[in-house]
Structure 1
Amino acid sequence: MTSAAGVHQGGKFIVVEGGDGSGKSTQARRLADRLRDAGHETVLTREPGGTASGAALRQVLLEGSLDARAEALLMAADRAQHVTEVIGPALARGAWVVSDRFVPSSLVYQGVGRALGVDAVEALSDFATAGISPDLVLVLDISDDVSKVRRASEDPDRFERESEEFHARVREAYRSLAAQRGWVVVDGNLEVDVVADKIWSVACERLEP
């Protein structure tokens, strides 16, 4: 259904995930642009840092020295504010939301990467999200070699500076959890335009934007 302003009502929540260097930020932006072109009010956001307070937390999370539990708790705090300020209100008014990272990142990075346990991190995330969950989770999967090259070409943050073993665990966790939870894995090794087209095809098939 369409409102008088020509903006579709009944928004959806899409999360774009992937390891460091996977290209998820670029693809989240491309997807949001296509949704807007299709006539949808679309909110593009990210975690951590999708709110003013979240931006301060992002700085600590990406550059600070943190215990694994403190890291998980700060991620949850960022997420709670993000849901309250941005995601919840956008969905309530019928907008589509595209988020660069959400709960899956915590399950993978803190639950598996930091070995805190997926169940423990998921319980914390459930409290933070207050029942809001994505309609579609897209995981960009890239090879270990491609990930290493891409991470080396950037100014690395605390996560990007982690060991190759850590990044390999992250990749395997994404693939394993995707198989269990119905997340859609997209080959991120392909050209940017090809990946964008594949993501759009999945979104159209699953959500009919």
Structure 2
Amino acid sequence: MSGKLIVIDGLDGSGKSTQAKRVADALTQKGIKNMLISFPDYEKPSSALVKMYLSGAFSENANDVNAYAASSFYAVDRYASYMTVWRSFYEAGGVVIATRYVSSNAIHQMCKLPNTEWDSYLSWLSDFEYEKLGLPRPDRILFLDMPRDVADRLIESRYGGDMSKKDIHEKNTAYLRQCEQTAAYAAQKENWTVISCAQAGAPRPQEEITAELLEKIIGDLSC
């Protein structure tokens, strides 16, 4: 019996990793065994092409790297992780909490295409990762909706203003604005659960966001 796969995704600076860790810890405290995974899996060789891409090895401008090629870099990393890290746990009925997943390609790669091609890209992405590669479909995708101006301030505080620490996505504010549009489109088209993460121009308290996430997730686990 397959387990549950819950994805927490969002734009850069939305707090995905923080919230995924908080959710996993809360589930553990409730006696719900779970596994926390994150993509890209930078600790594994499977992320080599992703690291080359984000470091600017192919181009300093993310838009110069073909959307389908870049998507495949991330997809292969996910496939390797599934086959070697979490497949057995998931297939035995385990609860898997993923920071980023196939949804991240929709957010960060679809923006490189004209909006007239967005639907065909989403169809290709679903077929490629879920059907051709055989990755599990998530039971729910929770999208952390953090306004770009708030997220930008959080990214700046993360790196202490040191631009050299940013990847080619984080350095390109125009690209990140494009990602806002594709994220909103994919969230509506793919029925993601959108969690508002800011109020009055400031981030909501972490514990409030965690509580909202847990309410949705525990409801899924009880089904």
> For this structure pair, what is the TM-score category when the shorter chain's length is used for normalisation?
0.7 to 0.9
Aligned to 1:11: 3
Which of 27, 32, 36 aligns to 2:24? It is 32
Q: Which residue identity lines up with residue 182 of structure 1 in the other structure?
A: N
Output the aligned Cα RMSD: 2.3
Structure 1: which 5+ residue stretches go unaligned? 1-8
Q: More displaced, 93-102 or 114-123?
A: 114-123
Aligned to 2:168: 158
Aligned to 1:114: 112
1:88-147 residue CA offsets vs partner (Å, 9 max, x unmatched): 22211222111110000012211x222283333333323564051111110000112102
- Mapped contact 1:175–1:185 kept (Cα < 8 A): no
* SS in structure 1 of the partner of residue 169 of structure 2: coil
Task: Give, in whole Å, the separation in 1 of the partners of 2:135 and 2:71.
Answer: 18
* SS in structure 2 of the partner of residue 45 of structure 1: strand
Structure 2: which 5+ residue stretches go unaligned? 59-64, 160-164, 199-203
What does residue range 27-66 of structure 1 map to in structure 2 within 5 Å? 27-49=19-41, 52-66=44-58
Identity of aligned pairs, percent?
A: 25
* SS in structure 1 of the partner of residue 138 of structure 2: coil
- Mapped contact 2:107–2:183 kept (Cα < 8 A): yes
- Mapped contact 1:80–1:128 kept (Cα < 8 A): no
Which of 131, 134, 147 aligns to 2:151? It is 147
Task: Give, in whole Å, the separation in 1 of the partners of 2:42 and 2:85.
Answer: 8
Which of 192, 200, 207 aligns to 1:193? It is 207
Q: TM-score, normalised by structure 2?
A: 0.79
Pick closer, same or farther for the CA change 1:122–1:161 going to 2, 3 Å.
farther
1:28-78 residue CA offsets vs partner (Å, 9 max, x unmatched): 111111111121221111111176223444432431423224322211211
Aligned to 1:170: 179
1:1-23 residue CA offsets vs partner (Å, 9 max, x unmatched): xxxxxxxx963111000000000
* SS in structure 2 of the partner of residue 84 of structure 1: helix
- Aligned residues between the structures: 199
What does residue range 65-80 of structure 1 map to in structure 2 within 5 Å? 65-66=57-58, 67-68=65-66, 69-80=68-79
Q: More displaced, 69-78 or 19-28?
A: 69-78
Aligned to 1:126: 130
- Mapped contact 1:14–1:134 kept (Cα < 8 A): yes
Is 2:90 the partner of 1:91?
A: yes
Aligned to 2:80: 81
Q: Which residue identity lines up with residue 52 of structure 2 in the other structure?
A: V
Aligned to 1:183: 192
Q: TM-score, normalised by structure 1?
A: 0.84
Task: Give, in whole Å, the separation in 2 of the partners of 1:62 and 1:128.
Answer: 25
Pick closer, same or farther for the CA change 1:34–1:169 going to 2, 3 Å.
same
